[in-house]
Amino acid sequence: MNRELVTLKRDLEQLKAVYHRQRGEQAKIQEKERSLRESLQEDLEKIERLEQARLLLLEAARHAREQGRRQVELLVTQALQFVFGADMEFKVAVEEKRDRPEAEFYVCSTYGGDYKVKTTPQDARGGGVVDVISLALRLALLHAFQPPVGGPVILDEPGKHLSDEYAPQLASFLKGFSQSLGRQAIMVSHNQHLADTADIAYLMEMHQGVSRVRRIR
> C-alpha 134: how far from its chain's center?
17
The answer to whether residue 125 is domain-embedded is no
pLDDT tens digits for range 9-35? 787 888 888 888 888 888 899 999 999
The answer to whether residue 13 is domain-embedded is no
- Please report the pLDDT score of residue 150 as a whole number: 83
User: Which residue from 183, 177, 186, 179 is spatially nearest to 148, judged by alpha carbons?
Assistant: 183
Phi-psi label, residue 87: left if phi above 0, alpha if psi -120 to 50, beta otherwise: alpha
The answer to whether residue 48 is domain-embedded is no
The answer to whether residue 184 is domain-embedded is yes
Residue range of the domain that includes 192: 150-217
What global pTM score does this model have?
0.69
- Please report the pLDDT score of residue 127 as a whole number: 67
E strands, 24-183, are 88-97, 100-109, 117-119, 153-156
The answer to whether residue 187 is domain-embedded is yes
Domain at 197, CATH number: 3.40.50.300
Position 1 confidence tier, pLDDT thresholds 50, 70, 90: low
The answer to whether residue 180 is domain-embedded is yes
- 185-188 and 153-156 beta bridge pairing: parallel
- 117-119 and 100-109 beta bridge pairing: antiparallel
pLDDT tens digits for range 134-169? 999 888 888 777 777 888 899 999 988 888 889 999
* Distance between CA atoms of residues 127 and 30, nearest Å: 76
Number of domains in the chain: 1
Query: Is it true that the peptide bond before 121 is cis, omega within 30 degrees of 0?
Result: no
What spatial distance separates the first Cα and last Cα of the chain, rounded to whole Å?
A: 131
Note whether 117 and 125 are within 8 A (CB): no
pLDDT tens digits for range 37-90? 999 999 999 999 999 988 888 888 788 888 888 888 998 999 999 998 888 899
